[in-house]
Amino acid sequence: MDELIEILEDIQPDADYENCTTLIDDHILGSLQIISLVAELEDAFDVTVPTVEIKPENFNSAKAIWAMVQRLQEEE
C-alpha cells in the first residue's frame, strides 16, 4: 500500500490519499491521471488492468485501488 501511495503522490501530490474516498467524484484525479495511474499500477504490481475495471468505484480511494490491485494479482 505504501508503494501505491507513493505512485499516487507522484501523479497528483495535493491529496490526502490516506483518508480521501472521493478521488474521482471530487475530480482530484482526472482522466489523464487515471491513465497514468493504470500504467504505473501495471508496471509496479505486475498486473493488467482491464478496461472494465476502470470505473469510479475502483479509483475513488487508495483503499479501493489497492483492493483492485490485490484482486487482479490473485486472478493472474
Whichever domain contains 23, its CATH number is: 1.10.1200.10
Residues 52, 23, 58, CA angle at the centre, nearest 5°?
A: 25
Q: Quick check: 15 and 23 in contact, CB under 8 A?
A: yes
Total number of domains constituting the chain: 1
Could you list the residue range(s) of the whole structural domain that residue 32 is in?
2-75
C-alpha cell at 18: 490516506
- For the stretch 8-25, pLDDT in tens is 999 999 999 999 999 999
Question: 26: number of CA atoms within 13 Å, CB side?
Answer: 11
pLDDT for residue 76 is more than 90: no
Distance (Å, rounded) from C-alpha 20 to C-alpha 60?
8
- For the stretch 35-74, pLDDT in tens is 999 999 999 999 999 999 999 999 999 999 999 999 999 9
